[in-house]
Amino acid sequence: MRRGNSPRGPRHSIMSRTGAMLIMGVFTLYFLTPIWWLLVSSTKTGGQITGTAPLWFTMESIPTFFSNIGRLFTYSDGVFGRWLLNSAIYAGLGALLGTIIAAMCGYALAKYEFKGREAIFNIVLSGVLVPATALALPLFLIFSEVKLTNTLWAVFLPSLVSPFGVYLARIYAAASVPGELLEAARLDGSGEIRTFFTVSTRLMAPALVTIFLFQFVAIWNNFFLPLIMLRDQTLFPVTLGLYAWNSQISQIPELRVLVIVGALVSILPLIAAFLALQRFWSSGLGAGSVK
Amino acid sequence: MTSSSISPALAKGAQKPWRTKTFAAQRRAVLLFIAPFAVLFLAFYAIPIVFAVVQSLLTVEREGTFGAPQEVFGGFVQYQQVFQNTEFWRSVGRVVLFGVVQVPIMLGLALLFALLLDSPLLKGKKFFRLAFFAPYAVPGVIAAIMWGFLYSPTLSPFGLITSEVNVLSAELVLWAIANVVTWVYVGYNMLIIYSSLLAIPTEIYEAAKLDGASNIQIAWRIKIPLVVPAIILTGVFSIIGTLQLLAEPQTLRSFSSAISSTFTPNLAVYTTASVPNYHLAAAFSVVLALATFILSFVFLKATQRKVSQ
């Protein structure tokens, strides 16, 4: 897009254009076919999934889809709806709070000079290299020490911590909040905290969206923590719930349809959100590596 | 890689300490800004890690066969067990093999797609960008469930292939998992590399173009060297991810009996913790975390040296 459709030299022939389009076309099929299959399969009954063309709809697709959805949300006292709600709490609320916490810390590290600043930042950076899964067992041991395993808090509280968010917030704050502006706010008598929430967060808004998205996906994808912490299925996030159903398919075959429809229902909002917020993704991802 | 490159921008925000009143206010503010994260980091990062290390140094002893179990300091007893545990080391070997094959393929594809997106050869770039990134919205568990169905001979739209070749067999299941991971993460890595390609000023190519350099030459000689930092970043994240594999193999276990309960190191941790043998599981965790940390650190250092030369 940057270079537009500027005239190409004779070297960039139809051959290389076709080759490029062909590569991208083949891989588009690779990336989208599984999602398409999921969409088509969710409009089928258990028998039709094996008995009909896997990648195309049947005559009764639309009514079957709605009856599948109905069964999904009523099966086992509507536990699936509960899982969606739990995921929204763990990932949505968790990422929201986590973003605010990370933004404050990163902002302080970027905009104030104080003793131990570098030390704190280095600890945060090494935290980035500690993967969430490596923490699951240690967290489980700590939570069982205080008898809080198998509670909502056991998954929610650890999810609030995002060293990567602090790292990103520091980069963005350094780049987008001018020190002169903070000086001016001070001369106007605005308190530091108020300046942060009224002025600085506005300047950092694109960064905050990026941090939120990163953390949302991290919590949403974190499987080990809920797997090791939770026994009570009404506390499950939707991924763990679908995993549990999926592992019971051999005993309860009717669950297969519910797993397929449930998988579709749980990824559609995410894909929609990704498409809507793509602008932020692209710019945010770059900032982590290029700067 | 990163800390050195961001420090100059920070100096601008530095405050003038001679105004003591605002200085005190600022110190209070700093404390307020940092405290929430610091408390949570301590409680849910630092303390659990320390506690896991402590647990890994304990062992359970009984007085006689039926005596009450008692936790006592065991030194490196658990670590001795870790090093003698062949299942665990086989799982480590498995993920290393996985990483050596899958990470270069995934990053190579991501680089190829990013370069094509950045080249003048393609039409419909926005569509390709979205289509390739879409799988990243699918959590590992759900991706594994989907591919699990697609792999199984009776359900798959690729029945012609899957009825001939059992990709869920003991020989192939590791690569079946590799395919799931590649499918989810190629688009994500592509976007990281692509956005760093976009950051390269166009003028840099102009001279080369005037000199008659081809697209491939420009990509190879100019673009790739400039996006090496982005590739390093994706490399580190991929190494971490590979050593930590859990969700995909654990989910695919219900499709394939070839995936044992100690197929990957994290599966071994989970299985050992469910026994429950927390002390040994903690020792596994500590070894795994250290290995991850050292590997990604070494990778960072090694590639940094190469770049600066």
Whole-complex ipTM: 0.86
pLDDT by residue for chain A (291 residues), tens only, comes to: 444 444 444 455 788 889 999 999 999 999 999 999 999 999 988 877 777 777 888 888 888 999 999 999 999 999 999 999 999 999 999 999 999 999 999 999 999 998 899 999 999 988 887 877 888 999 999 999 999 999 999 999 999 999 999 999 999 899 888 988 998 888 888 888 899 999 899 999 888 988 998 899 889 888 999 999 999 999 999 999 999 999 999 899 889 999 999 999 999 878 887 777 767 665 555 554 433
Same domain, B151 and B112: yes
Same domain, B81 and B69: no
For B54, the domain range is 17-73
Check residue B70 and give its pLDDT.
80
Check residue A285 and give its pLDDT.
57
Check residue A188 and give its pLDDT.
87
Q: Counting beta carbons within 10 angstroms of the beta carbon of residue A253, is it exposed (0 to 12), middle (13 to 18) or buried (19 or more)?
A: exposed
Residues of B in contact with A217 (CB under 8 A): 136
Same domain, B200 and B176: yes
Check CB contact under 8 Å for A175 and B9. yes
> Are the C-beta atoms of B202 and A2 separated by less than 8 Å?
yes
Check residue A250 and give its pLDDT.
87
Check CB contact under 8 Å for A270 and B138. yes
Same domain, B116 and B39: no
Which residues between 75 and 114 in chain B have a beta carbon less than 8 angstroms from any beta carbon of chain A? Answer: 109, 112-113
Q: Which residues pair with B59 in a beta bridge?
A: B72
Residue type, B289: A
Same domain, B98 and B49: no
Check CB contact under 8 Å for A271 and B137. yes
Residue type, A244: A
Q: Is residue B7 part of a domain?
A: no
Residues of A in contact with B254 (CB under 8 A): 246-247, 249-250
> Are the C-beta atoms of B269 and B288 separated by less than 8 Å?
yes
Q: Is residue B10 part of a domain?
A: no
Summarised one tens digit per residue, pLDDT across range B267-309 is 999 999 998 899 999 999 999 988 888 888 888 888 776 665 5
Domain at B135, CATH number: 1.10.3720.10
The predicted model scores a pTM of 0.86
Residues of B in contact with A113 (CB under 8 A): 13-15, 17
CATH of domain A68-290: 1.10.3720.10
Summarised one tens digit per residue, pLDDT across range B155-205 is 777 766 777 788 888 889 999 999 999 999 999 999 889 988 988 888 887
Please give the structure tokens belonging to residue A45: 């009954």
Same domain, B93 and B65: no
Distances (CA, A) of B64 to A12, A120, B207, B298: 81, 49, 82, 47
Give domain limits for chain A.
68-290
Residues of B in contact with A246 (CB under 8 A): 145, 148, 251, 254
Of the candidates A111, A137, A288, the beta carbon closest to that of B52 is on: A137
Check residue B1 and give its pLDDT.
38
Same domain, B85 and B152: yes
Asked if A114 has any chain B CB less than 8 Å from its own CB, the reply is yes
**What is the C-alpha separation between A128 and B301, in angstroms, rounded?**
16
Q: Counting beta carbons within 10 angstroms of the beta carbon of residue B306, is it exposed (0 to 12), middle (13 to 18) or buried (19 or more)?
A: exposed
**What is the C-alpha separation between A2 and B198, in angstroms, rounded?**
8
Q: Counting beta carbons within 10 angstroms of the beta carbon of residue B267, is it exposed (0 to 12), middle (13 to 18) or buried (19 or more)?
A: buried
Asked if B275 has any chain A CB less than 8 Å from its own CB, the reply is no
Check CB contact under 8 Å for A267 and B269. no
Please give the structure tokens belonging to residue A152: 């909502």
CA B262 to the chain's CA centroid = 19
Q: Is residue B3 part of a domain?
A: no
Q: Is residue B11 part of a domain?
A: no
Residue type, A97: L
Q: Is residue B2 part of a domain?
A: no
Residues of A in contact with B246 (CB under 8 A): 133, 223-224
Same domain, B89 and B210: yes
Same domain, B206 and B95: yes
**What is the C-alpha separation between B284 and A100, in angstroms, rounded?**
34
Same domain, B174 and B287: yes
3-state secondary structure chain B: CCHHHHHHHHHCCCCCCCCHHHHHHHHHHHHHHHHHHHHHHHHHHHHHHHHHHHHHCEEEEECCCCCCEEEEECCCHHHHHHHHCHHHHHHHHHHHHHHHHHHHHHHHHHHHHHHHHHCCCCCCHHHHHHHHHHHHHCCHHHHHHHHHHHHCCCCCCCHHHHCCCCCCCCCCHHHHHHHHHHHHHHHHHHHHHHHHHHCCCCHHHHHHHHCCCCHHHHHHHHHHHHCHHHHHHHHHHHHHHHHCCCHHHHHHCCCCCCCCCCCCHHHHHHHHHHCCCHHHHHHHHHHHHHHHHHHHHHHHHHHHHHHHC
Same domain, B175 and B152: yes
Check CB contact under 8 Å for A20 and B43. no
Nearest chain A residue to B144 by CA distance is A243
Asked if A27 has any chain B CB less than 8 Å from its own CB, the reply is yes
Same domain, B118 and B192: yes
